[in-house]
Structure 1
């Protein structure tokens, strides 16, 4: 057995060894100083049983870095002349910086910054009654029932997919889209209208999430769609909706995207919508402003919208379908000019002046440039129709691209339009009970299948005993991306990754890729399946290539974080860029710890930079913002899970602050809950009705933080057991998924199930002595 060169000794002995080292071998004194300052020495001196996994990682990394060049000896290893110190931090620094001799000052400067200071006052945890340790059989029974429920809902092809619910903008798009395409008598339009009316708030207007307040842009679009569908403005609910819209500022203050749809039907002047110049597609990707400097979803919206802006179509509708009444004082008297930025010297002012200049230039157009730009945008869209469920496989891009092709003269029977219409039809869900038609913004089969597979694997379902798991693994393998997409502009790695939908070959994302890899590895140990091993290795290289310069990971692109672009007038939907986020970065670390723990540790260069990013992104109260789930509960849980799996010391102050924050926001019923209003009002973080999915997140966060035996964790588990239905699943009315913060939220209908299953399965493993 290879023994560590420096054993834990009392402080006085360590001081004496320092002096001996300085006398006998001065050069090694500096090397050992760095080694003692590093986390390796701290982990070796730790006696906490929870640090056992981290110590094992440290020893493995030390042996790897030293190459096995130190010999077993009872004499203090670093005094031996043939000893070369196993210094993971030093070796990682040398590899990353490509330097020769160790530069102590540089290494110390490279250390992660201090954790954010804890707030002087912290909210106390709720006074919950004492609960004994849960009985393992009751937890096992709950896990078994949840596992059976999920397996029973697997598709015959091997995947899982549940409804993905959004606000009424999606049904509104369908009404307006079918009218724009000349299908105003489509028999499905009344079904969309009934869905919109059913979702109207009692006081009038429409919200962006369940039980939320009325939102102006959603309300304007829904009201307009109902009028186009034939609903009279004199009906009582329409009067209430109109009063709410005017109270919120009227249609003149709606979002740019809403104004575009009003302009398509002559309800808003094209001269007053922000310019979307198609010439932008001609700009090279090397300059700061180009189509690849904005997010992938903004790109899928911008390119077809630029064609529509250049052509400025207007679809005639009957006068009674107009919405002049939504403008305070009438549309003729409304101020339709773009809002001025609060600061004169700002990016907003510069882009506003640029918008005015572009509109003036349109009066004297360069025909050749405009024609070239439109044709380039047309080819760009058609290229991305291949092996995808529409442009970007998400509703706005799909709808806008078909409308753009129609304006370019494509007939309905053209293959591109015919396929696009078929893809849109597939998003509909017909409910015969109330004769409504709901519309999904996209499908989520890869995401649902990856999480379901991961949860089932954690719950103990074995691929050798359950044939349905073999089919899910095979289906996931078939969805790996093997062609170059938009990500290739900034990532030189070979093609790989997974996307979110049934088909979206050009747009794999890090979050889905990481979740798929964890699901596959949970089912197949290394060496058990060559196909899985090869796919995971390709995925690892692709994910590593997606790391941004700031150390974090984003969704679809690398270094897509030019914040000045959010000041462009048409970028008011809060999704212009795709910056690194703590939740995705931490999920990448979780994946490293599951699929390749022998290759990744806190001293790996990519991991060190990710940890530094995570620490910088932490809120003062210890929580983390959640970009893709609501909200601070989602971000905080995921970070704690990632830190645990990568081998971070969970006793550090910044980690303990996160654990204490989770405990402080637990509800009296033992659960956790948070609504989307926390994106607008951070004081609302951790506040909202308890939900199964968010309680599961918090429980997994506590398990990762070493609080499995705490009363908070026991009450969280008890909440899940008590609220589980007899058929094995849970009820959940709240929306806990995030599309675009403050703008667009989602209700994943499987979130209420596979997250609680995963949490209870992790707790069951904890009771059986497993420590991640």
Structure 2
């Protein structure tokens, strides 16, 4: 038995062993986050003794996980960055003032943090200089910049700091959801709770500093009711610890800390804490990683000689049933999204989005091809229709809301558009569509292809939105972006050729494949930075494996790299994931599910 087969068997066995016993699917594990830990610790501090213990544990974790240079990164494997370092330092200072952490170790960490921030800001961290620096990081997008500035004002001892926090148009949240996109809001669609809570808090606190009565305070009741309609049953907005903590803190400082929204938020933060005192950025990506794992498991089951034994079909049926069960069946209160989509998690805070819906649809097709007999057609029809309704005028697909706006995380993007293209192509030929429905699908796929043609860089690559590389210029990741688009274009190649787009598709594919081949490192791996990663290498292999002889040769070298790297040291998760507002994360399952899929190719 060759080493690739042996390693693939071991990888498959390990992955199957990481499933949740009750459901038969995967929850994964996100990296602990200094930013989340700092925000949650401050939000809970002072509520009662139990909350203070959690805050103290969080402070101790922050002290233990500062980088040697004095700052903090988004993960323990991330370089220091401005936002996380500002928040972590402010949190530690505030917790120290409250007596929740003390000692020489904390003082030493704070001293090093001061030095790092002074160097990064080219001077003392005054409110003016911090506001300017954050503006350079986030540009016109106030989604994260304003909550950070508000948090620093909350943690500081100078009320005048509120005067440097820009306003947010929180009153507009009371308008019908369908009107939001016409106002070109300076926050993205998923940040509505922060828009309301932080915007109201800033309005009240600035008025207090100026000795005036806040003009919009009379709307507080209506705004709190709006927050109640957005808040899921367990209290966590989007199941996101940073967003929920920002909302709780803003309500505290605005004088509404006892309201139902804040109390449910505290409960969510309490239940989200990890052993050791840290918090992640989100509860889990269960639906997303299950869709990815399904693709890898089905591929390995088909390729390995004993795949049927390692993965009985009954286990695939469990996965199919679970995916169908977590499809959203009602209009979502957060974004107003119609039924039919999938979120990244099955927890109450999940919101349907294009990437997770596409992932679930592709996974269900793979399960059907593997012999699953679960009744998937109603779910597939609803999911495909949901994606069709999300397509933007430019032909691409956004993450959450059609036509919302001009900010990056709400615009069409190549990686998500390509994923939708692959999902549509997977089900297009099934005998479940009327002639008119097939025509609509064909037109949608052609429009995505035209969008991808416009978005392809002159070098042949595409840039991903939700994945990056910390070592790359501006954190961008053309390896992931190009791999995902090439993989999708190959899946839809025949359909687009039949539609008369052969020339365009072949040109895009050829340029994308050439870029990936040229980007391969001498050792056979891929990375948008300097060091090859299992995640990027696997995605490049998946994209190239079905191509020309040159593509196949590059893919085989990539497979050899995956076997050698995994066998020698095992794969370490790399922070290539980009969460809301450019927060880096790594997920424990990424370096398992993608390499398994890649090693089963060809």
- Fold similarity call, TM over 0.5: yes
The offset of 1:140, in angstroms, is 3.0
Q: Identify the residue that residue 422 of structure 2 maps to in structure 1.
A: 590
Q: Residue 269 of structure 2 aligns with which residue?
A: 424
Aligned residue for 2:243?
A: 397
Structure 1 residues 430 and 481, CA, compared in 2 at 3 Å: closer, same or farther?
A: same
Structure 1 position 163 matched with structure 2 position 55: no
Return the alpha-carbon distance in structure 2 between the equivalents of residues 443 and 484 of structure 1: 22
Aligned ranges for residues 286-685 of structure 1 at < 5 Å? 286=179, 289-290=182-183, 294-312=187-205, 366=215, 370-372=217-219, 374-387=220-233, 390-403=236-249, 406=252, 417-431=262-276, 436-460=277-301, 465-485=312-332, 494-504=338-348, 507-525=351-369, 529=373, 531-563=375-407, 577-598=409-430, 604-630=442-468, 631-647=477-493, 648=496, 649=502, 652-673=506-527
Report the alpha carbon displacement of residue 178 of structure 1 after superposing the two structures with TM: 1.4
State the secondary structure of the residue aligned to 1:188.
Answer: helix
1:221-300 equivalence runs, <5 A:
221-230=87-96, 231=102, 235-249=107-121, 250-252=125-127, 253-254=129-130, 255=134, 256-268=146-158, 269-283=161-175, 285-286=178-179, 289-290=182-183, 294-300=187-193
Alpha-carbon distance between aligned partners in 1 of 2:349 and 2:209, rounded to the nearest angstrom: 39
Match of 2:9 in 1: 144
Distance 1:580 1:611, change over 3 A: same
What CA distance in whole angstroms lies between the structure 2 residues aligned with 1:601 and 1:745?
40
Question: How far is the alpha carbon of 1:395 from its aligned partner?
Answer: 1.8
Q: 1:198 to 1:293 in 2, by over 3 A?
A: closer
Q: CA deviation at 1:306?
A: 2.2
In the alignment, structure 2 segments of 5+ residues that lack a partner are 97-101, 135-145, 302-306, 469-476, 497-501
1:173 deviates by 0.5
SS of 1:499's equivalent? coil
Contact in 1 for aligned 2:189/2:404 (Cα 8 Å)? no
Matched, 1:732 2:582: no
Shift of 1:429: 1.9
Residues 1:201 and 2:201 aligned together: no
CA distance in 1, matches of 2:585, 2:423: 25
State the SS of the aligned residue for 2:524.
coil
CA distance in 2, matches of 1:629, 1:748: 12
TM-score normalized with structure 1 length: 0.65
Q: Tell me, what secondary structure is at the counterpart of 1:738? A: strand
Per-residue CA distance 1:703-743 (angstroms, 9 max, x = gap): 244357643222101011112248xx9322531111257x4
Question: CA contact under 8 A between 1:730 and 1:753: conserved in structure 2?
Answer: no
Greater Cα offset, 582-591 or 661-670: 661-670
Contact 2:45–2:55, Cα closer than 8 Å, also in 1: no
Aligned to 2:548: 706
Q: Rg bigger for which structure?
A: 1
2:584 match: secondary structure = strand
Alpha-carbon spacing, 1:451–1:510, altered in 2? closer, same or farther (3 Å): same
Distance 2:184 2:346 in 1: 25
Question: What TM-score results when the alignment is normalised by the length of structure 2?
Answer: 0.82
CA contact (8 A) 1:736 1:746 kept: yes
Structure 1, unmatched stretches of 5+, are 1-135, 314-357, 564-574, 674-685, 767-772
Please report the RMSD computed on the Cα atoms of aligned residues, expressed in angstroms.
3.4
Contact kept in structure 2, 1:633 and 1:698, CA below 8 Å:
yes
The structure-2 alpha-carbon separation of the partners of 1:406 and 1:471, relative to structure 1 and needing over 3 Å to count, comes to farther
Looking at structure 2, the residues matched to 310 and 614 of structure 1 have their Cα atoms a distance apart, in angstroms, of 42
Q: Is the contact made by 2:228 and 2:261 (CA closer than 8 Å) also made in structure 1?
A: yes
> Matches of 2:418 and 2:556 in 1, distance apart?
25
Quick one: structure 1 residues 689 and 662, their matched pair in 2 at CA, closer, same or farther if it must change by over 3 Å? same
Q: Which protein has the bigger helix share?
A: 2
